[in-house]
Structure 1
């Protein structure tokens, strides 16, 4: 897992926890939107990191 993916995972977890801890107000949907965005970017970073690999053995 790349450092970018790790950072996105941490941001997703933090924004998810923040959405659970905040009381119901007008800004309570912002952490949920951020959590969804960071989770989507995390999955995208995992897919891109998996697809682009360097093979040092040339056959």
Structure 2
């Protein structure tokens, strides 16, 4: 897992934890925390896909005799 993916996962978990720790009367902040968690979770999934891309192998591009 890349450093970016780990960072986004931690940020998503922190946003969810912040949402759980807020008092029920703070609905606006709760909604913002849930939205932030959704954004960070989406970025986490995107970072996982980007980290799986196929690496270039220069040996495969050598000219055949």
SS of match in other structure, 1:12: helix
List, as ranges, runs of 4+ consecutive aligned residues in structure 1 with deviation greater than 6 Å.
none
Displacement, 1:28?
A: 1.3
User: TM-score of the superposition, structure 1-length normalised?
Assistant: 0.84
Compare CA radii of gyration and give the structure with the larger one: 2
| Length-normalised TM-score, structure 2 | 0.77
Q: Note the alpha carbon deviations across 1:11-44, whole angstroms, 9 max, x for none.
A: 0110011111111213211110000000000000
**Considering only aligned residues, what root-mean-square deviation do their CA atoms show, in Å?**
1.5
Match of 2:29 in 1: 27
5+ residue gaps, structure 2: 61-65
Could you tell me how far apart the structure 2 residues matched to 1:29 and 1:46 are? 26
Quote the Cα distance in structure 1 between the aligned partners of 2:19 and 2:54.
34
Unaligned 5+ segments in structure 1 are none
Give the Å deviation of 1:46. 0.2
